[in-house]
Amino acid sequence: MKGKKIIVIGGSAAGPKAASKAKRVDRKADVKLFQREPELSMATCGYPYYIGGVCDDRNMLIATPAGVKRDINFFINAKGVEAYVETEVVSIDRKKHKIVCKNFNNAAEAAYEYDKLIICTGSASKIPPVPGIDLKGITPLTKLKDADYLRKIRDEKKIKKAVVVGGGLIGLETCEALKLAGIEVTVVEMLPQILPFLEFDLAKLVENHIRSKGVDIIINDGVAEFFGENGGLKYVKLKSGKELSCELAVLSIGVSPNSKLAADVGLDIGEFNGISVNEYMQTSDPDVYAAGDCVEINNLITNKKMYAPFGDLANLEGRVAGENAALGNCVTFNGAIRTGICKIFDFSAGCTGLSETAAKNAGFTDIITAVNAGPDKPLFMKPNPLISKIIADKNTNAILGYQCIGQGDVSRQISTASVIITGKMKLDDIINLDLPYAPPFSLAIDHFIASAHILQNKLKGRMIGISVREVYERVAVNKEKVFLLDMRGENEYEIMRLGIGEVSIPLGALTKRFSELPSDKNAEIICFCKVSMRGYEAAVILNDKGWKNVKVMEGGVMAWPYSREK
């Protein structure tokens, strides 16, 4: 008995996973995979590391964990999937269950019938419609040939200056790769901050770190025009009028779904121009599935559709689409919460769930947040810093989002938060969570649990927090007279201080120096220290002594992203 004829369009992440899964669960199935590019199953998220020299072997980007190259021979011999490269599917006939494809090398066309079709056409880089965009030296970073081009530039060491257009994940990873190659790099971001998925204060700290590595960052500005000479890029003119000399520009302003093929045959397309699918990864045609960067999926927090073009999700979606195409709808992909992380020089930056702004936009009207700063391990284990923000629904105590940056183990924090949010755990469920502990890995009270404790203190009215951004705007920008109380020791204060009018009283001396505080017990006092743990202790003491308007600057000096006196 012959098996189903299953055709998969697209050979990057979701497509190969769907094809391989379909064949594994139904060995009788006739599975064919069509790919526009010369390569199959590419590790696209690894491109910046190939450019930067972390990975020097190009084949590792298209190899299995055992080092076997994933080419057409691998797919037929190891997976039982008949793969075609440099071949584009140019049309789909849904009534006749047939596709027509065209080979780029010989222009030959061929038609194939299917019982089930899986569309995994991925995404395309957004290209800004500005003059000069076709000059030599301007490239996106979407395909392996783009990575090859940038790797060649790195190896030849001829280019001295580059501009990265876009301050998102891929843009900043590419920025690091070019900087490590000895190229002078400027990042241009149209928004008021880099890494727009982060809260402003955290993004500013990442920006400061990148600047410390010798990279220039321009925010609130965009590209107006590219100028060249003899066909090659010479400089970029920004909308502000500023001109940046460069021989290379990398375009990284995001991607959009490749949904045209699906739209042309009448499949439902969603709000974000991605293919609409249900929990089975099934399109509006029951015989057609779709997965990866070309689809829209459900947000598990808001229960609304979103566009989430991430490599891990593409693989998970492809796996579900492949099994359902082969066996019928038996497994589901219910959605995601948008979890991401990136490494930028010595920093990591990650997020999961909703930001504070996104939560408000989604209709959560009563939100509470907490910022936590501190080491990831005990002092005797040479710790690294972490700064994080947790977002919750005050009405239900459900965790809505979490963000973390720093030189510590950000991945662990984001992974913990992702599971908690996906599992719809409440604050009371996590304040005593049993996480693995040993000094080489974490503090006795893990950073994430400590963040939950701060949130709990705020919910119970034991602490009133104020953000570093609000303190900065009130004191440094608006010149308000606020009593700022730095609880650190004298040596700490001399080594590093904000210099915005704060008064230094070490925590251990506070009870002996009440006379230096405002005599008006209703006066606002803002306490802080390096991470504001001592700031919180001070607030408890002052509240006990009758001061009624005591706040804690959350995250303390470590979370302060603005200029300091020292």
Spell out the per-residue pLDDT of the chain, length 566, in tens: 578 999 999 999 999 999 999 999 999 999 999 999 999 999 999 999 999 999 999 999 999 999 999 999 999 999 999 999 999 999 999 999 999 999 998 888 999 999 999 999 999 999 999 999 999 999 999 999 999 999 999 999 999 999 999 999 999 999 999 999 999 999 999 999 999 999 999 999 999 999 999 999 999 999 999 999 999 999 999 999 999 999 999 999 999 999 999 999 999 999 999 999 999 999 999 999 999 999 999 999 999 999 999 999 999 999 999 999 999 999 999 999 999 999 999 999 999 999 999 999 999 999 999 999 999 999 999 999 999 999 999 999 999 999 999 999 999 999 999 999 999 999 999 999 999 999 999 999 999 999 999 999 999 999 999 999 999 999 999 999 999 999 999 999 999 999 999 999 999 999 999 999 999 999 999 999 999 999 999 999 999 999 999 999 999 999 999 999 88
Q: What are phi and psi of 67, to 5 degrees?
A: 90, 10
What does the pLDDT read at residue 251? 97
Distance CA 237, CA 239 (A): 7
What does the pLDDT read at residue 1? 58
What stretch of H or E contains 414?
helix 410-422
| Amino acid letter for position 67 | G
Residue partners of 531: CB distance under 8 A and separation at least 6: 372, 373, 374, 555, 556, 557, 558, 559
What does the pLDDT read at residue 495? 93
- Which residues, in sequence order, are bridge partners of residue 289? 118, 282
What does the pLDDT read at residue 286? 98
User: Cα–Cα–Cα angle for 318, 321, 324, nearest 5°?
Assistant: 150
Distance CA 488, CA 493 (A): 6
Q: What structural domains does the chain harbor?
A: 5-42+57-122+256-327 (3.50.50.60), 138-253 (3.50.50.60), 339-459 (3.50.50.60), 465-559 (3.40.250.10)
Distance CA 198, CA 209 (A): 15
Q: What is the pLDDT of residues 96-133, one digit of tens each?
A: 999 999 999 888 899 999 999 999 999 999 999 999 99
Integer angstrom CA distances of residue 556 from 158, 481, 497, 535: 44, 19, 11, 8
Question: Among the residues of 468-532, which ranges form H helices?
Answer: 468-472, 490-495
Distance CA 195, CA 167 (A): 6
Distance CA 479, CA 45 (A): 45
- Whether the full predicted model's pTM is greater than 0.85, yes or no, is yes
| Residues, the chain | 566
Q: What is the pLDDT of residues 512-535, one digit of tens each?
A: 999 999 999 999 999 999 999 999
Q: What are phi and psi of 129, to 5 degrees?
A: -80, 70
Write down the residue that tokens 């953000």 correspond to: 467
Q: What is the pLDDT of residues 391-419, one digit of tens each?
A: 999 999 999 999 999 999 999 999 999 99
DSSP secondary structure letter of residue 547: -
Burial of 432 (0-12, 13-18, 19+ CB in 10 A): exposed
Q: What are phi and psi of 283, to 5 degrees?
A: -85, -170
What does the pLDDT read at residue 543? 97
